[in-house]
Amino acid sequence: MSKDQKHQGQERQEYPTSRNLYFIMQNQLSFIPLGGVGEVTKNMYLYEYNDQILIVDCGLGFADETMLGVDLLLPDISYLLKASSAGKTKKRIVGMLLTHGHEDHIGALPFLLPQLPDFPIYGTPLTAAFANDKLKEFNAKRRVQSVNFNDSEKSIGSFSFSFIPVTHSVPDTSHIFIKTPVGNFYHGSDFKFDDTPYDAKLTDYAKIEKAGATGAMCLLSDCLGAERKEKTPSDINLTQNFINEMKECRGKFIVTTYSSNISRLNQIIEASEKNGRRVCFIGRSLIKAKEVARSLGYLNLKKDIEIEIESLKNHEDRNLTLIVAGSQGQENSALTRIANGEHRDVKLKEEDVIVFSSDPIPGNETSVYELVDTLTRRGVKVIYSPVTRDFHVSGHGSLEELEHLINLVRPKKLIPIGGQYRHMFAYKKLAEKLGYKKSDIFLMEDGQELLFSDGNVKLGRTIPVKNVYVDEMSGEELEGFVLRDRQKLSEAGIIIILAEIDSNNGQLVGNPDVIVRGMSAASYDAKRLNSRLTQDFRKALGHRGRVTNWIYVRKLIGETAERRIFKDLRRRPLVLPVVIEV
């Protein structure tokens, strides 16, 4: 230790000066989730050390029913944009690491990368391939670099990291062990511990344990399964169930599943081969995932097994397996079109069997069950969970596996990620049961900074993060007020008031016109409303003479109308005043 450093250390205890504060900052790591805590999707986490920022994941969120006309959400990167722009405290994004190839971990890349400066991005082979396919599709220039699990530890800036293989519902899923000058983080994103995975690619328990032995200041852990007691079952048993069900089926065997679940696709292909069925992929997302996985050798799909949709008519139904996109009941998906009898190449017959090899994502229950009903109406046999649990198992570990990870890593502190608040809470209960103190477990909110230094952790800034809505078609962001307007419009409709005002004396000319949309005709007496509004406007306008401020007049008309409408109709539609100068 140099004299100078020692001096700083002494001063620090007694006279905190700006120089000393800088010293303190140097020994501090700031962890900020921009998305992914208190919610399952939209994963994005920042590790900040001095002027360096390392990002983990860049995922999409999915809109719920309250977000009208919106399909997708993005992590709010305002903080990153500000922090990385010129200025005294300018920070540098040194790199980004991707844990696995699911939309809620890589899906925001094409939307957010174009806004950010250049930096290297790393992911395991399939993760990189899925991400790059997406970037190409959006004409984005950046690419993700492929990293193998047995590559040696890499460094970017003051950070170094290694990828650790774990099992999940997409191949090449990894946990990331991140070393920082302040301490080591085990970033344990989505996983389960499946010891008999279909692709025989096992979790590297030894590598996890070794990481833990190096010393882990903090474990970030998937917590989505923290309410389930039993170990999550292995996927391996599903293959035999597919084989048996296909054997029984005398018509087309139709399966829908998540496109990225390559092992599931392999299981369906194997079962089809054993039953002498040819396999056809239907739906854009599925075909893309199939191509990417196949090009990397992850898909065991022999040339003569696959057939194109155009050739379906040359085969007997009982020799066909169709793997179809649309397991969530999406409006324009292949499966929905098939169910509605609107698909050109696939028509349902009574002997067909349809298997949902998936669960409804929370929020999609209504559309999934509606699709099941529509399919059932066509007379086909529909198999779906939770009625049958033979064709799908979760990709997330249950309490037993979460406990196993804690025991392997043996971290000082714990942060549950990738779950709703109730899952985070259940994870906390688990950690307490294992002997952790309440103060060692952090249930975070998006934007909440945690400061790690000298083995201590404390809450830091609260960085404001807002909902960023994106229009899937155009990629444009939607402002929050637009959503609020839509909410109002959808609940109570709109009333447009056209009022002619004489610019000479500021008086109403004649009666206003009232146009109503999205509101029941029975809910108001148009004539009465009109005459009441006329009265109110006359009174509100008073005798103000020549109009100089039209904005004020418009506002006055709007507010007066809103008051009257609420008073008489007990409703709050969107009121839009249009003032016409005459």
Residue 206 or 580: the one with the smaller Cβ distance to a second copy is 580
**Shortest CB 416 distance to a second copy, Å:** 12
Contacts of 171 (CB under 8 A, 6+ apart): 126, 199, 201, 262, 263, 293, 298
Hey, which residues between 22 and 51 contact a second copy (CB under 8 A)? 38
Does residue 477 bind a second copy (CB under 8 A)?
yes
Pick from 16, 69, 215, 341: which binds a second copy (CB under 8 A)? 69
Helices (H), 380-511: 399-409, 421-433, 480-492
CA distance 523 to 530: 14
Residue of the chain from 156, 202, 305, 496 that contacts a second copy (CB under 8 A): 496
Angle at 510 between CA 506 and CA 514, to 5 degrees: 100
Helix axes 238-248, 262-274, angle to 10 degrees: 40
Closer CB to a second copy, residue 5 or residue 490?
A: 490
CB closer to a second copy out of 227 and 440: 227
CB 371 within 8 A of CB 344: no
576 is an interface residue for a second copy by CB under 8 A: yes
Size of the site for a second copy (CB under 8 A): 55
Q: What 3-state class would DSSP assign to 122?
A: strand
> Would you say 367 and 330 are in contact if contact means Cβ atoms under 8 Å apart?
yes
Taking the complex as a whole, the smallest distance from the CB of residue 64 to a second copy amounts, in Å, to 6
The answer to whether 471 contacts a second copy (rule: CB under 8 A) is yes
Least separation in angstroms between residue 537's CB and a second copy is 18
- H or E, element range at 25: helix 18-26
What Rg, from alpha-carbon coordinates, does the chain have?
29
Residue 192: strand, helix, or coil? strand
Nearer to a second copy, 188 or 225 (CB): 225
Which residue's CB is nearer to a second copy, number 287 or number 489? Answer: 489
Contact present, 273 and 301 (Cβ < 8 Å): no
Window of 80-88, 100-108, 485-493, 551-559 that interacts with a second copy by CB under 8 A: 485-493
Position 311, amino acid:
S
In the complex, minimum distance from the CB of residue 442 to a second copy, in angstroms, rounded to a whole number: 14
Closer residue to a second copy, CB minimum distance, 243 or 578: 578
Question: Contact 442/413 with Cβ under 8 angstroms?
Answer: yes
Distance CA 534, CA 140 (A): 56
Q: Where are the alpha helices (DSSP H) in 29-140?
A: 78-83, 103-106, 109-112, 125-137
| C-alpha to C-alpha distances, 507 to 65, 132, 147, 349, nearest whole angstrom | 44, 63, 73, 70
DSSP code, position 573: P
- Min separation Cβ 492 and a second copy, Å: 6
Least distance between a second copy and beta carbon 354 (Å): 12
Cα torsion angle, 427, 160, 456, 85, sign: negative
By CB under 8 A, name the one of 311, 366, 407, 504 that touches a second copy.
366
Binding mask 133-162 for a second copy (x = CB under 8 A): ------------------------------
We find the least distance from the C-beta atom of residue 420 to a second copy, in angstroms, to be 5
By CB under 8 A, residue 492 contacts a second copy: yes
Six-digit token string for 172: 């090449």
CB of 100 to a second copy, least distance (A): 25
Answer for which of 22, 138, 421, 550 binds a second copy (CB under 8 A) is 421
Q: Is 351 exposed, middle or buried (0-12, 13-18, 19+ CB in 10 A)?
A: middle
Residues 551-570 that bind a second copy (CB under 8 A): 570
Helix (H, G, I), strand (E, B) or coil at 35: strand
574 lines the binding site for a second copy (CB under 8 A): yes
Helices (H), 304-364: 334-339
Closest CA to 497 of 582, 570, 564: 564
Q: How far is the CB of 141 from a second copy (least distance, A)?
A: 22
For a second copy, which residue of 151, 248, 365, 559 counts as binding (CB under 8 A)? 365
Residues 6+ apart with CB under 8 A from 482: none
381 to 400: interface string for a second copy, x by CB under 8 A = -x----x-------------
459 lies in the site for a second copy, by CB under 8 A? no
Binding mask 218-247 for a second copy (x = CB under 8 A): ---------x--------------------
* Only segment of 54-62, 217-225, 279-287, 489-497 that touches a second copy (CB under 8 A): 489-497
For 25, counting Cβ atoms within 10 Å of its Cβ (0-12 exposed, 13-18 middle, 19+ buried), the class is middle
Candidates 2, 18, 439, 520; binder of a second copy (CB under 8 A) is 520
Q: Given the complex with a second copy, which of 4 and 230 has the nearer CB atom?
A: 230
Q: Taking CB under 8 A as the rule, does residue 485 contact a second copy?
A: yes
572: left (phi over 0), alpha (psi -120 to 50) or beta: beta
By CB under 8 A, name the binding residues for a second copy: 38, 64-65, 68-69, 227, 362-363, 365-366, 369, 372-374, 376-377, 382, 387, 420-422, 425, 471, 473-474, 476-479, 482, 485-487, 489-494, 496, 498, 513, 515, 517-523, 570, 574, 576, 578, 580
